[in-house]
A and B are shown apart, each in its own frame.
Chain A
C-alpha cells in the first residue's frame, strides 16, 4: 500500500524550472532510492518534502492524507524528517541532550537528568545504536553523529526519513552500521527515502527507485530488481545536446600549465595534469568529487601539502593567490557571492581591485584611468548596468560573473584562467555570451580550466575532459571520444571500481 505519495509536484525558481510534474509513490516500510545527475531536482524535491520550500503546484500525501505543511517544523509534526549532509546537532551538548533538545524532561525548568539519559539509552538500545548517551556530540565520529541524527528522527516518531547522501563522509565500516540500522527501521514500517549517487548502495538497500532528470521524472522502478545499472545510467543521461555551445576547433600550442602531484587537506590523493596553450580543459565530477578543492589548491587559495604548479615552465612560488596572479593565473571562484564579488562596492572597484596596482603610482589611485579600465571592460564584456558606479550586488548573476572576468582580463599577461561553475545561476542568453568570451580568450593562447557540475556544459565547451571522482582523476577523455554515458560512469563512485574509500 502506498504510504508516501508525491502528486504532480512542480517548483520553479527565477530562470529555472527545478521540478515539473513529479508524481510517484513509496510503499510502507520500503527503502526508496532517489537518483539523478547534479541539478536533476533531487535536492529541490527533498526540500519540498522537508517543508523547507513549498511546491508551486501539487501535493504530498502521507498515509492517503494530504499534507499542508508550510515549514520544517510542520513537517516534523507530520512525521517527516530529512537528514542533511551537514548535520544539525549541537556539538557542545551530550547525545541525550541533543535528542531532547527543545522539550527537556523535568519540572520548573530543572532538567530531570535521569529520565533524560535513561530514555535515550533505552531508545538507542532498542534501535541498536551503540553510542553513549552522556558523550558530547563533538567527541563523536561523523558516522556516530549521523546515527544520533537518525535516533533523533526515531524519537520524534518519524514516519518518513529522508537521507541525503548519507555515506558521503562515512568510512565503509560506518556505512555498514548505517545500512543495518536502515534495515531495522524498515521492519518498523518507516519509509526511507535514500538519495545517493552510489549505484552499489542503491541496489543493495533499496526496494524501489525513482530517477530524475532536468526536474522531470525520468523513470520510476517499483521493483529495483527489475532494472539494471546500465539502464539507470541511461535514464540519468540522455539529455539533448543542443548547439548553444558554439564550440569550434582551435589550434593548440605547447603545454602552458603543468600540475604535478597536487595535494592538500581536502584532496588527499595527488592530482597531476597539464593544459596546453589555447586549450579549454573541462573538469567534471559529481558534487563532492574534489573539483573545486583542486581549483583552490591550484590557485593557492588553500594550503598545499605537496606538489608543484608551473606556467610556461616557471614554477609558481609561494603558494598564495597573489603569487598566482603575478605568475599569470587567475581564478573565478565557484561561489561568486562569498568568494568573488566585493559586496557594497561599485562595479568599477570590483574590476580594478587587482589590476589597479599597475596604474596607481605610489599607491595613489588615478580615478580617470580606473574609470577608463572599468568602462572598457563593461563595454567589452557587455555588462548590463546603468553606470560603473553601480553596487555590484544589484547586478544579475551573469553580469556579476562578467565583472569578475573583467577583473582578471584587466590584469596584465593572464596565461591561465580557472573558472569554477562559469554559468551557475546565469540565464541562457548570458551563458552563451560567457562561452564566447572563453573561446575568444582560448584563441588568444590562454589555457582555460572550466569546472562544472553540468555535464552538457562541460561536454559542450571543452576540448578535453578530466573526470573526477572521490578526490582523484578517474578519466581523461578527448573531445573526439566524448560520450555522456562514459563520463557519467567514470564520475559515479563505485566501491568495486574505485577500491577503498
Chain B
C-alpha cells in the first residue's frame, strides 16, 4: 500500500498512471490502438501540446496566462488575412508570429513592469485580443485564397503530419531550455522564490517579460497550424483553450505555486487530455459529457498535485 502510494505520488507517478490507462484503453476500446487513430489523436492535441510548452514556463515562474486561446485565434486570423492581402504566405506567417509576440510582450510588460496581477491582466488581454480578432474579420470566418497554405497542416514527413513534427520539435526545444539552460533554471528559481532569486542576481522582471513574449510567439505557431487545418481564420477558434492547456500542465505535475515543472510530465498531461477525448469519441459519448469529464480530470489533477506537495513536504520538519 505504502509503496503504491509512493509510486503514484512520486516524480514518475503520472507516467505510471498514464501507462496503465493506455494499456487498459488499448485492450478495451475498439479501434484505439490503430495507426490511423494514433495519428488522429496526436493531431487533435497539437494546439494544446504546443501551447503547453510555454504555459509550463509561465506556471513554473508563478505566473498565469488566460489569453492563450484568444492569441491563437487572433494570430491565425492575422496569418490568413495578411497572406490573402499580400499574396505571400511567408509574409502572412511572419505577421502572425509578430502579432502573437506583441500580445505576449504586452502581457509581460504589464504584469512584470507595472506589477499587475497576471490573472487580471491576461483576463483583460484575453477579451481584448478576442475582440480584435472579431473586429478584423467582422465576426466571420475568413477563407484562405492560396491552397498552399493548407499544406502546412496537410503535408506529411515520413507519413506523419507536419504539425505533429512541429509539436515534437517544440517539446524537445522547450525540454532542453527548461533543463539545460540558464533561462530554464532561472524560471524555476523565480517560481521557487522570487525575492531570493532577485537577491541572487536574477533579473526577475526581464525574465517574466521574456516568458510571456515567448508564450505569445508559441501561440502564434499554434494559431497558424490551426488555421491551416481548419482551412480558414476563425475568430472564435480555440475558445477555452487556456483551460485545457493549464489542465494539461497541472496534470503533468507543474505546480501552480511555481518552482516545479518537467517537460515529460507536461507531454503526458497533454496525452491524457487527448486520450480522454479520443476515447469518448470512439465510444460515441455525447460531446456534452466531455466537458464533465474534462472538469473531473482537472479536479483530480489538482488533488494529486496537492497530495504530492504534502507528501514532499512531509519530513521537512
Contacts and interface: CB of A to CB of B under 8 A. Distances in A.
Interface in B181-229: 181-183, 185-186, 188-189, 192-193, 195-203
B36 interface: no
A345 B196 contact: no
B182 A344 contact: no
Given A344-B259, A356-B182, A364-B180, A321 B196 contact: no
A338 B193 contact: yes
B260 A344 contact: yes
Nearest to A353: B200
Contacts of A259: none
Interface in A316-375: 321-322, 325, 331, 333, 338-345, 349, 352-354, 356-357, 360, 363-365, 367
Contacts of A391: 312
B200 A407 contact: yes
A345 B196 CA distance: 12
B201 A325 contact: yes
Interface residues of B, number: 25
Given A353-B189, A353-B202, A356-B185, A339 B259 contact: no
Contacts of A352: 185
Contacts of A354: 200-202
Contacts of B255: 344
A331 B199 contact: yes
> Is chain B's binding surface mostly helix, strand, loop or mixed?
helix
Contact of A345 (B180, B188, B195, B203): B188
A299 interface: yes
A343 B193 contact: yes
Given A342-B192, A367-B180, A394-B316, A353 B185 contact: yes
Nearest to B258: A344
A342 B197 contact: yes
A242 to B, nearest CB: 29
A331 B198 CA distance: 11
B147 to A, nearest CB: 40
A363 B183 contact: yes
Contact of B196 (A325, A341, A364, A365): A341
A343 B257 CA distance: 11
A301 interface: yes
Contacts of B312: 391
Contacts of B192: 342-345
Contacts of B198: 301, 321
A349 B199 contact: no
Contacts of B201: 321-322, 325, 353-354
A393 interface: yes
A298 B188 CA distance: 27
Which of B193, B197, B260 has most A Cβ within 10 Å? Answer: B193
Interface of A: 299, 301, 321-322, 325, 331, 333, 338-345, 349, 352-354, 356-357, 360, 363-365, 367, 391, 393-394, 407
20 contacts: A301-B198, A321-B198, A321-B199, A321-B200, A321-B201, A333-B196, A338-B193, A338-B195, A339-B195, A339-B196, A342-B197, A342-B259, A344-B255, A352-B185, A353-B201, A353-B202, A364-B181, A365-B182, A391-B312, A407-B200
